Amino acid sequence: MKVSKFLAALLLTIFFTVGNCFAMNFSQPVYIGGLEFTNASMSIFDKDISTNGKISGVFKGKNVYQNAIAQFATGADALYVHCNYRNHEATYFGDKDQSNTVAVKLSANGASIFQIKNDGRIKLYVLQCENKISEEYIMPSALSSDAARKFVCIGKKADGSFVEYFNTDELRNKYFGNINNDIPYVKKVHCSGDTIVIECAQNTGARSEFRFKWNDAQQWFSVDYVE
């Protein structure tokens, strides 16, 4: 009996140890570039903002007057964005091959692109949409015109396919319906262990959070809203 209890305890210890070893750890979001649109062109920025991102095709300049493929980051971390300055609502993020991308609807303000590195087999990127290009997640005020309206998290799975993990527009619709009055605005995004935390604020001053915890077995995020 004692031997059986000892073996059971040993197996439990090994189980929890192995489970902890495979727990995902996310780094803090790092700005890698952005893009924005005007009536006649679009601008693509690399992480320094002072120079241009890498654009495929003949035209290589800050203002792009044609379709382009912009590359952000390099090597295995590379993220390609297929852009059309005449139709910014159809912008595709993912692989160099457009058939393996995620369509993201953008406004003329475009998106700032952040990478979240991790010790797993996936690549993660967060798009800060519908506000001016910025290297910072912290917005000055929920009432400010610079307040981020939408965040989209996309990623490259272990099999190489790109997917959309979450979109704050969809979350707001799910948790708050079609109410236009005092829906929480995204204020900041940060990571804690295996969880991506989106801090929200309301015009009343109330604070809340969306927490996206990585589930390694399902290879997806669970969602928890905390007021």
| Percent of the chain whose pLDDT exceeds 90 | 30
Query: What's the chain's average pLDDT?
Result: 75
Does the residue 192 lie in any domain? no
Tokens of 82: 């297929």
Number of domains in the chain: 1
pLDDT at position 201 is 78
Residue 91 has pLDDT above 80, yes or no: yes
Does the residue 194 lie in any domain? no
Does the residue 15 lie in any domain? no
Does the residue 106 lie in any domain? yes
The residue written with tokens 């953008």 in the block is 106
- Which residue has better confidence, 138 or 105? 105
- Residue 123 lies in domain: 25-167
Does the residue 14 lie in any domain? no
Q: Could you read off the pLDDT of 128-145 as tens digits, one per residue?
A: 886 655 555 443 333 333
Q: What is the mean pLDDT of residues 29-38?
A: 82
Q: Could you read off the pLDDT of 51-61 as tens digits, one per residue?
A: 445 554 433 44
Give which of 179, 202, 192 is closest to 224, Cα–Cα: 192
Rounded to whole angstroms, the Cα distance separating 26 from 68 reads 31
Does the residue 48 lie in any domain? yes
Residue 222 has pLDDT above 60, yes or no: yes
Rounded to whole angstroms, the Cα distance separating 75 from 121 reads 15
Does the residue 88 lie in any domain? yes
> What is the strand order of the sheet 185-192 is part of?
185-192, 195-201, 207-215, 220-226
The reported pTM is 0.79
Please tell me which of 20-24, 25-29, 173-177, 182-186 the model is most confident about, judged by mean pLDDT. Answer: 25-29
Q: Could you read off the pLDDT of 141-167 as tens digits, one per residue?
A: 333 334 556 889 999 999 999 999 999
- Which residue has better confidence, 25 or 131? 25
Does the residue 223 lie in any domain? no
